[in-house]
Amino acid sequence: MSYPYPAMHEQVLYQADPNVATTLRSIRDRIYHVSSTHVNRQVRVQTLDGNIYEGAIVHVDRGHVYLKVSHPSGQRAFFGPSEAAILTLVLFELLVIVLLA
């Protein structure tokens, strides 16, 4: 890859351990599989930060779960009407996904 100007000094600020990267990919793939097989189902999701959301999974991609929630909070960016908004959650931030009836 060519940049518009040459870098005088490059300093790596962070590089994941290869074993950690492999583990993260495995976790991402498992959450993707679980979430994608439960699209249109009601779930409760807890994030690593302790936030809890309830709603229906409406879409999943390799990096995110899109959750339709009835009562959006102001903590995240939402898209859609105020009474039913779509919350975008990053797969790496998910700690627990519970299937609701």
**For the chain, which domains are there?**
18-99 (2.30.30.100)
Computed over every residue of the chain, the mean pLDDT equals 85
Q: What is the mean pLDDT of residues 7-18?
A: 85
Task: Determine contact, residues 38/100, Cβ cutoff 8 Å.
Answer: no
Task: Determine contact, residues 85/73, Cβ cutoff 8 Å.
Answer: no
pLDDT of residue 25: 92
> pLDDT tier at 3 (50, 70, 90 boundaries)?
low
Greater pLDDT, 8 or 36: 36
Q: In Å, how far are 34, 42, 44, 71, 73 from 83, measured between CA atoms? A: 27, 16, 18, 6, 11
User: Is the predicted pLDDT of residue 75 greater than 90, yes or no?
Assistant: no
Q: What is the DSSP letter of 7?
A: -
The tokens 């919350």 sit on which residue?
A: 87
pTM of the model as a whole: 0.74
The CA distance from 53 to 26, in Å, is: 24
pLDDT of residue 101: 74
